Chain A
Amino acid sequence: MKKLILVPKEVTAIPVEAEVISPTVIAGRTLDEVQRLNVYQGKVKLTLADHFDVTGEVAETPAEQIIVVDGDAPHVKYMGAAMDAGRLVVKGDAGMHTGSQMAGGELTVEGSAADWAGAEMKGGVLRIDGDARHLLGAAYRGSSEGMTGGCIVVGGGVGSEAASFMRRGMIVVKGDTAPFTGVHMNGGEILVFGRAGKRLGAQAKGNGGFMACFGGVEELLPTYMYDTTYSPTFMRLYLRQLAETLNVEEALRYLDKPLKRYRGDLAVGGNAEILIAEP
């Protein structure tokens, strides 16, 4: 693996759109070419080197490339957008649309991520050690196709409308979630180890997906019907895998917890599952 290091020069008030910060875009170029890649600040076209000190090595293929953004970059949008291989590590906060539409590889944000992180994600792993703001893994406005693959793990809490229009893939939240998590969800899995916010699963149709809440739910929609209390085998498998492969150690605490199963959203004739661990 070859490492390229980008050190942000300053945090600017006007965001910088830098979808070029991606192993998929950078691999196969020379360092000079990478420094001259275009980024936009508002309507102004600049180069990557105008905003970052760019050093290190560039790999031949995306899979061999590690990019490290060494510092806070809350003003930098679209980092890792559409990446399909390799690794990107942000050693601080990341701006909006980080990892949106990513299809493979691994993206780690050691701080917090702004809105739309992992939006319409198709594959790969996105880890956010801090909080993620609104619309994590969501569909873009107007679209009915949200996350269709991959895995997002958030160490802190998440904002509203996380996983909207989710179809496949997995979102794991160690902290709390704001309202409307899983709105319009149509498949996929959401596991919340903190407290889930109001209107969880609103308008969700289901199609095999579930929302598992291990730290309670603030308020369940009346259009979800209680079904049963049980300890499904698949959940034990999920929780073990989470602990072993994604280091979600909290998962092991709930291995034998019975789950209350609710079905809905009946407002749209849905068959989605909300599973709530008994205290």
Chain B
Amino acid sequence: MKDIIVKGGYVYDPLSGVDGERMDIHLSAGKVVEEVPERDAKVIDAKGKTVMPGGVDIHSHIAGSKINLGRLLRPEDHRKDPVPRSKHTRGGVGYSCPSTFVTGYRYAQMGYTSVMEAAMPPIGARHVHEELNDTPIIDKAAFTLFGNNYFTLKYVREGDKEKLKAFMAWLLKVTKGYAVKIVNPGGVENWKWGRNVDGLDGNVEGFDVTPRQVVTMLAEANEELGLPHTIHLHCNNLGIPGNWETTVDTMDAVAGVKPTKGRKNTVHVVHCQFNALDGDSWMTLKSGASKVAKYVNAHPHVTLDMGQVIFTDTTTMTGDGPWQFRLHGLTGNKWVNSDVEMEAGAGVVPYTFKKNNPANAIQWGIGLEIALMVKDPWRVYMTTDHPNGGPFIYYPKVLAWLMSRKARTDTMLESNKAVMKKTSLAGNYREYTFNEVAIVTRAATAKVLGFKDKGHLGVGADADVSVYDVDPSKWRPSQYAEIERAFRLASYTIKGGEVVVKDGEVTSTPLGSTYWVKAETPPELEQELVKELEADFKKYYTVSFRNYPVEDAYLPTQRVVKAQGGVWK
């Protein structure tokens, strides 16, 4: 592979303290290096352009049974976005449930080089990894679902945190998962009896535990295991007006958890827009963003991502089965439910966010309010919860809204007036800088995920670089269309030291790696745990214990991240 010099661009590398300096980036053997000889290198002229580390998406649904249900449910979605093959790419379909190959191509075209699959049901892990292998270019990782797992609930009920930690380490290992995902803790278990939990202190049927206990114990166990990422939490009561209180209560429930060495945060609250609703009903719906942001600004243990709404037709899909049933009832749209044995659940419902719908307009405002009201960009990240708030291909639009008040105002004027009356967005003058964009799309996400070699361009970092055709010294917020254009199709995307996109066209399709986390467990404890698991597998599971783990063959380019080392009694 030829060395590369990205020459003369305006570099934004917040983790290295570089804020728009004109400088060269040298790449060799898949890494950022101090310097390579120019005569032997491929030189990319980045003069007048913006250079950033490759994007790192912290929360997206791109692989596995849930997205596949969406694909099956929505032939009409594929129809509107066929993607023909090209010299370097395969044909496929796009839009809200894109095919695996198109997912990889389109992320790379936007300058993203790492994407996290946010919900992997353990028994469906093989399927997830098979699809991740078919998602080219980008590096990937998948978050294993824990919040409604039979064994999680059992150990929480027994108050056996040591066994829970051992189980978490074991399940991450056998599913090749990267982080602990919790979706509507206890609610999805209750959904198996047609019910939900009514909040953080509701009862989980059959286990007599509360979501508060589940979240708190998983957060403590996560930090004691020293996992690279905190718990990745989809709160209870998602999508229900007035849910900001549940969200803040949930954040507060883990305020006392001691973070693992080297970080302050103990919880990442996902797609916060859906959990920052105020009011008593859809009729009285208003923004609860200021209340959530106020708490977050005062408590460093919390990080968030936006879950921004895009005004378009999309496919909602989540492990929160009861919420999806509720959404099906609200809209009358078609619905798929999936119960995942002893572990999780899911639902899929198509949805169209409309500008003239007051609730949708308010939701659009809330997402942006959260990003603009949380003062520290290192703790709020740009996502659409793809495809729930909207397809990831609209990220450039979200960036335009964040960077330009005029862009927000222009959209507000086309939207239902409720967004003016029920949110404070119109009075918010903050506009993200290029440096802040680099933080919320790559630097901070890489940092909070614990990727030491990603999200920056310091020596030793992965040679993942994005070059965008926009001159930050000349750009003004009124030119927001320029941002959309430039960030939609990168001038160059370099992945692992190889040019994969040039002038918005995919030029090469390397496989990309899959990351997973290995946490050590005392051997005697693991043996005891396995004995217990085997007994329950025999009684309750449809697969045998031996067939459960994902074999190494499913991860041809795996990268194992070791947890910091557990705190064991």
Contacts and interface: CB of A to CB of B under 8 A. Distances in A.
A143 B76 contact: yes
A247 B79 CA distance: 35
B85 A43 contact: yes
Interface in A15-43: 40, 43
B85 A142 contact: no
Contacts of A141: 75-76
B334 interface: yes
A141 B80 CA distance: 12
Interface string A140-161: 1111100000000000000000
A20 to B, nearest CB: 13
B160 to A, nearest CB: 47
B85 A140 contact: no
Chain B interface category by residue count: 10 to 19
Interface residues of A, number: 9
Contacts of B91: 43
A9 interface: no
B334 A140 contact: no
B74 interface: yes
B81 to A, nearest CB: 13
Nearest to A40: B84
A142 B84 contact: no
Contact of B77 (A40, A139, A142): A142
A45 B75 contact: no
B73 interface: yes
Contact of B74 (A40, A43, A45, A142): A142
Interface string B325-338: 00000000110000
A276 to B, nearest CB: 30
A25 to B, nearest CB: 16
A73 to B, nearest CB: 21
A88 to B, nearest CB: 21
A45 B85 CA distance: 9
A195 B224 CA distance: 75
A45 B73 CA distance: 29
Interface in A54-74: none
Nearest to A139: B76
A251 B531 CA distance: 80
A141 B77 CA distance: 10
Contacts of A143: 76
A233 to B, nearest CB: 34
Q: Is the interface of B mostly helix, strand, loop or mixed?
A: loop
A143 B73 CA distance: 10
B335 to A, nearest CB: 12
B84 A140 contact: no
Q: Which residue, B73, B74, B76, has most C-beta atoms of chain A within 10 A?
A: B76
Interface in B83-112: 84-85, 91
Contact of B76 (A40, A43, A140): A140
Nearest to B73: A142
A45 B86 CA distance: 9
A172 B84 CA distance: 36
Interface string A84-125: 000000000000000000000000000000000000000000
A255 B517 CA distance: 77
Contacts of A139: 76
Q: Which residue, A139, A141, A143, A144, has most C-beta atoms of chain B within 10 A?
A: A143
B73 to A, nearest CB: 7
B231 to A, nearest CB: 36
A45 B77 contact: no
Interface in B51-95: 73-77, 79, 84-85, 91
A141 B85 CA distance: 24
A22 to B, nearest CB: 16
Interface string B154-193: 0000000000000000000000000000000000000000
A139 B75 CA distance: 11
B97 to A, nearest CB: 11
Contacts of B74: 142
B84 A45 contact: yes
Q: Which residue, B74, B79, B85, B91, has most C-beta atoms of chain A within 10 A?
A: B79
Contacts of B334: 142, 144
A143 B91 CA distance: 23
A103 B20 CA distance: 47
Interface of B: 73-77, 79, 84-85, 91, 333-334
Given A45-B84, A140-B76, A141-B75, 16 more contacts: A40-B84, A43-B84, A43-B85, A139-B76, A140-B75, A140-B79, A141-B76, A142-B73, A142-B74, A142-B75, A142-B76, A142-B77, A142-B334, A143-B76, A144-B333, A144-B334
Task: Please list the 6 inter-chain residue pairs (A to B) with the smallest Cβ-Cβ separation, ordered nearest first.
Answer: A143-B76, A142-B75, A142-B76, A141-B75, A140-B76, A140-B79
5 contacts: A40-B84, A45-B84, A141-B75, A143-B76, A144-B333
